[in-house]
Structure 1
Amino acid sequence: MRNSAPKLARRAFLSGVTSLTASVAFSQNVDFFGDVDQETSITNGSLRNISSFRMLDWRPYFKNLKNGAILSDINSRVIHFWSENEEIYKLYPTSVPITDELTRKGRTEVVRKVVGPSWRPTPEMRKRNPEWPDFIGPGSDNPLGSHALYLSWTYYRIHGTHDTRKIGRKSSNGCIGLYNEQIAELFELTKVGSQVLLI
C-alpha cells in the first residue's frame, strides 16, 4: 500500500503531461486561415504574427465589394479576401517586401491571372542582383510559384512561392507572396477586376 501513492502521483503527472502535450499539438492545428482542411505546418514567421490573424470588416477599406476585394496588410503580413456577395471571407499569411523602399501602398486591381507564370527580374532587381538569370519559366524554380495575380501597377503581383520559409516574413522585392495552395484558392476566388488595397 505504501507504494500506491507514489504510483498514483506518477500516473497523474504523466497524464497531465500527455494532456498538455496534446493541447499544445492541438493549438498548432488551429485553423488561422479560414479553412478547416488547411495544412497544419505553419512557418515560424507566421507563428510570430499569429495575433494579426483576426477577422476584419471590409467596410472601412472599400466602398463596395464589386468583383470581390483583397486587402493586403503589409504590417500584419496577411491578406483578407471578401467575395462580392459577402458569402466568402478568407485570411492568408503572406510574405511582404524586404524594405519600405520596395513597398507600394494604395489601390489597384487584378488585371491578369496566370497559372504557371514565368518570371523576369525588373530593371531595379537586375541592378541590385546582376547575377540573377534573365528569365525563369514555369516550374519549381520560379519565384512566382504556381499562380500569379497581376496588378495594374507594373511589376507588382500577388503570387505563390515554392520557398515556404518566406511566408510571414519580409522577404520579397515588392510583391506579396502566399503558399502555393493558398494562392491557388485565392486565384479561383478572384476575377480580373477584383479590387486590391495595400495598406
Structure 2
Amino acid sequence: MTQSRRAFIATATAGLVTLAAPAIAATGAVQRNVSALQKIDWRDHFDALGVGVIVADTSARAVHYWGGDGETYRLYPSSVPVSPELTKLGYTEVIRKIEGPTWTPTPSMRERDPSLPRVVPAGPENPLGTHALYLSWQYYRIHGTHDTRKIGRPSSDGCIGLYNEHIARLYGLVEVGTQVRLI
C-alpha cells in the first residue's frame, strides 16, 4: 500500500508540474517582456526631456513617462487602437489636459455607427474615463477607461487608454507641452 501511495503521489506531482509548465513559461515570458520594456530609454526617441516625454509603445501596449526632472519615470499598461488603419505613429505633444472630459464621437465613428450619442458627459459611461491628455493630433488622446477589460489589448478607435487610477497619476505628472511619441 505504501508503494502505491508513493507512486500515486509521484504521478500526481508529475502531472501538476506538466499542467503548470505553460503558466510558469508564460510568467517567465511576461518577466522578460517587462525587463525589455524597462530598457526603453527616452534618449532613443527625443533630443531633450523638456517638461517631460511620453513614449506610447503600441506593440508592447505600454506607456512610458519621464519627467523633466530626469528622475521621474513611470510605466503603465495600456490599450491600443484596434487596427493599423486607426493607429497613428510618430511625434505629437500634449496640448490640453481635462479632468472629467466629455466625449464626442468622431465623424467616422458616427458614420460607422449612427446610433452613437452626439456627446457623452463626464461620468461612468464616458469612454474617456476620468482624465484625458489631448494631443496635437485631432481626435487622439491618452485617456482613462471605466472598462478595465480594454487594457492590454487592441480596443480603441485610435487613442491610448489607461486604467483610471493610472491616468489620474499620469495626469498629475504631465504638463502641457510634454512631448509624445507613439511607436
SS in 2 for 1:185: helix
Amino acid at match of 2:70: E
Q: Which residue of 2 aligns with 1:101?
A: 85
Residue in 1 aligned with 2:61?
Answer: 77
- How far the C-alpha of 1:130 sits from its partner, in A, is 1.2
Displacement of 1:190: 0.4
Which residue pairs with 2:33 in the alignment?
A: 51
1:63 maps onto 2:47 in alignment: yes
SS in structure 2 of the partner of residue 59 of structure 1: helix
Structure 1 residues not aligned, in runs of 5+: 8-16, 33-49
Residue aligned with 1:171, SS: strand
Q: Verify: 1:129 aligned to 2:113, yes or no.
A: yes
1:84 Cα deviation after fit: 0.8
Kindly provide the amino acid, as one letter, of the partner of residue 171 in structure 1: S
1:170: how far off? 0.5
* 1:170 maps to 2:154: yes
SS at match of 1:110: strand
Percent identity for Structure 1 against Structure 2? 54
1:54 CA displacement: 2.2
1:147 is aligned, of 128, 131, 143, to: 131
**Structure 2 counterpart of 1:190:** 174
Deviations 1:135-190 (A, max 9, x none): 10000000000000000111100000000000000000000000000000110110
Which of 74, 87, 103 pairs up with 1:119? Answer: 103
1:156 aligns with 2:140: yes
Q: Aligned equivalents of 1:94 and 1:128: distance in 2?
A: 25
SS at match of 2:168: helix
Shift of residue 133, structure 1, vs aligned partner = 1.0
Aligned with 1:182: secondary structure? helix
How many Å separate the matches in 2 of 1:122 and 1:197? Answer: 22
- Residue ranges of structure 2 left out of the alignment (5+ in a row): 6-15
SS of alignment partner, residue 120 of structure 2: coil
Question: Separation in 1 of the partners of 2:58 and 2:112?
Answer: 22
Partner of 1:86: 70
Q: Which residue of 1 aligns with 2:163?
A: 179
Give the partner amino acid of 2:117: P
